[in-house]
Amino acid sequence: QSIPDLVLYQCGTSKPTMSHNGVTENARFFEIPVQKIALPWTGVLHFVELLSASDSIELIDLSYIGSPCAQLLEHCEPGVHASSGSDTW
């Protein structure tokens, strides 16, 4: 028996369907509330952006960021950047 895929989607948005790329028939869907997000590494940033939850980012390590939208966070939200090795984390 295979482990089903877990599909998380933001509260108040449309539930993804099986027609979305990579969603399997046995997938389980979970509606999640997103209020505040801290990203000590940028591996999940793409998914946060896909959920349109970038406005919820309170703290992010922008040291090696490639996303132009996330790079603007430091300009628009002073104090949002903190190195993951700092005391802030």
Digit-coded pLDDT (tens) for 28-81: 888 888 778 888 888 888 888 887 888 888 999 888 888 888 888 888 888 888
At residue 82, the pLDDT reads 85
Sign (positive or negative) of CA dihedral 79, 54, 56, 40? negative
Is the pLDDT at 13 greater than 70? The verdict is yes
Three-state DSSP state, 49:
helix
DSSP summary character for residue 77 = S
At residue 1, the pLDDT reads 67
